Amino acid sequence: MKLFSFLSLLAAATALPAANDLAPRASISKVNGLKFNIDGVTKYYAGTNSYWIPFLTNDNDVDVIMGHLKTSGQKILRIWGFNDVKTIPGSGTVYFQSFSGSTATINTGANGLQRLDAVVKAAEKHSIKLIINFVNNWTDYGGMAAYFSACGVSSNAQWYTTTKCQSLYQAYIKAVISRYRASTAVFAWELANEPRCNGCQTSVLTDWIRQTSNYIRSLDSDHLIAIGDEGFGLAGDGSYPYQFGEGLDFAANLALPNVSFGTFHLYPSAWGTTNAWGNAWITAHAKVCAQLKKPCLFEEYGVTNAADHCPVEGEWQKTSLAAKDAGMAADLFWQLGDTVKSTGQQTHNDGHTIYYGSSDWTCLVDKHVKQIG
Ligand SMILES: *[C@@H]1O[C@H](CO)[C@@H](O)[C@H](O)[C@H]1NC(C)=O
Ligand SMILES: *[C@@H]1O[C@H](CO)[C@@H](O)[C@H](O)[C@H]1NC(C)=O
């Protein structure tokens, strides 16, 4: 710290090029072939998910956690950029958008999007790159279901195809993008968390993804755009996740011109597959990404049995990293855990959580970051 400020002073005084090299200039993240270019560096990247960090109410808590990610060599952090409610909670509780009658109101107050501002600011400070997600398929933090009565529908399938739902959703997207349009801390905008349309023709989601990615591109010509899906619907062993029944066609969606890279998740216990099955799931996606010449992000993965965290997820990380010249660009485990400084409380343990400073962290973060180099 001392050394750095001394050199910065020196750089300011004499403009030594060597001192400038110490901190790469922040820039908007890009795709470079089958990889990501972050702040000018093209390589494989590691990161994690924290749905909860925008819901913390203390700026310093956010800053401390971002600092932990930085010192651990974690680069990409995926967060919930939504928090939709149908009933306005008590004053201390964070929410971003509320629905009443046929209208939606975006909360730009201190317990609203200002919390997301604090996350973006801390990410800028620590050179962490954020994936900001706009809506949940699931009902956690509201989701598409929170919009239902305002836009007169009763299912996710209708939500994707009903103009009123989509105009409310797009208004929310616009409100978020306009706040961080120029930020180098935004890695990508993301359409939804795990969008599905069970039993629908895959054209329903493909059309919605085309429409939404084009809309985002019309607002922001620079930042990357991703879907946030589980990666269902592609050639493989024919087991449930490879099937098209959840309304997803991985290759058709990734081929859309304003989708910048592919996303997929991995939860064998929820999908009725084995943990070892996950390795072929990773390479199957890499193959499609390589064919379509877009990078693949292994965006969420987890096993609930704590004893399996390190061996099983460590194996998946190796498989992904081994495909770094064949379509895989980065992986983000689900999910980050830490101790909130102001309260001394640990963040949500959903069984998948990997806590900063734990032995799982040593294995799945420190070791992995070292392997990446
Ligand atoms: C997510 O989407 C799928 C498919 O439409 C649906 O079956 C599931 O119920 C959704 N989740 C929620 C909570 O709506
Ligand atoms: C991407 O989105 C922009 C902005 O909406 C649109 O003009 C363009 O046609 C889209 N790209 C393609 C190739 O469809």
Residue-wise pLDDT tens digits, 91-105: 889 999 999 999 999
Give pLDDT tens digits for 19-64. Answer: 445 557 899 999 999 999 999 999 999 999 999 999 999 999 999 9
* Cα distance between residue 123 and residue 129, in whole Å: 7
> What residues have CB less than 8 Å from 288, skipping those under 6 apart?
234, 235, 250, 251, 254, 262, 296, 327
Q: In whole angstroms, how far apart are CA 3 and each of 100, 264, 292?
A: 55, 42, 46
- Look at residue 209 and tell me whether its pLDDT is greater than 80: yes
Helix (H, G, I), strand (E, B) or coil at 258: coil
Give pLDDT tens digits for 137-188. Answer: 999 999 999 999 999 999 999 999 999 999 999 999 999 999 999 999 999 9
Is 300 annotated in the active site? yes
Burial class, 258, CB count within 10 angstroms (exposed 0-12 / middle 13-18 / buried 19+) = middle
Selection from 116, 127, 40 nearest residue 81 by Cα: 116
Q: Which of 124, 230, 299, 300 is catalytic?
A: 300
Average pLDDT over residues 196-200: 97
Distance 326 CA to ligand 2 centre (A): 27
- pLDDT (0 to 100) of residue 14: 41
- pLDDT (0 to 100) of residue 23: 59
Q: Whose CA is nearest to atom 3 of ligand 1?
A: 196
- For the chain, domains (ranges, CATH) are 38-372 (3.20.20.80)
* Cα distance between residue 1 and residue 67, in whole Å: 13
> Which two three-digit tokens encode residue 287?
């193959």
pLDDT over 70 for what percent of the chain?
94
* Cα distance between residue 162 and residue 90, in whole Å: 31
Nearest atom in ligand 2 to 215's CA: 5
- pLDDT (0 to 100) of residue 25: 87
308: amino acid identity, one letter:
D
Residue ranges around ligand 1 (CB below 6 Å): 137-139, 145, 156-157, 196-198
Nearest atom in ligand 1 to 200's CA: 5
| Residues 129 and 75 sit within 8 Å (Cβ to Cβ) | yes
Give pLDDT tens digits for 222-275. Answer: 999 999 999 999 999 999 999 999 999 999 999 999 999 999 999 999 999 999
**For the whole prediction, is pTM greater than 0.85?**
yes
Give pLDDT tens digits for 286-332. Answer: 999 999 999 999 999 999 999 999 999 999 999 999 999 999 999 99
Mean pLDDT of the chain: 94
Question: Within the chain, what is the greatest distance between any pair of CA atoms?
Answer: 65
Distance 156 CA to ligand 1 centre (A): 6
Cα dihedral 79, 81, 85, 90 sign = positive
Residue ranges around ligand 2 (CB below 6 Å): 214, 217-218, 257-258
Is 194 annotated in the active site? yes
Cα dihedral 301, 307, 312, 317 sign = positive
From the CB of residue 144, how many other CB atoms can be counted at a distance below 10 Å?
A: 25
Q: Which of 190, 194, 246, 299 is catalytic?
A: 194
- pLDDT (0 to 100) of residue 22: 56
- Look at residue 6 and tell me whether its pLDDT is greater than 80: no
| Residues 164 and 130 sit within 8 Å (Cβ to Cβ) | no
Q: CA angle 353-233-177, nearest 5°?
A: 60
Burial class, 269, CB count within 10 angstroms (exposed 0-12 / middle 13-18 / buried 19+) = middle
- Look at residue 3 and tell me whether its pLDDT is greater than 50: no
Probe target for ligand 2 pocket from 218, 220, 224, 294, with the most ligand atoms within 8 Å of CB: 218
| Residues 130 and 120 sit within 8 Å (Cβ to Cβ) | yes
Distance 137 CA to ligand 1 centre (A): 6
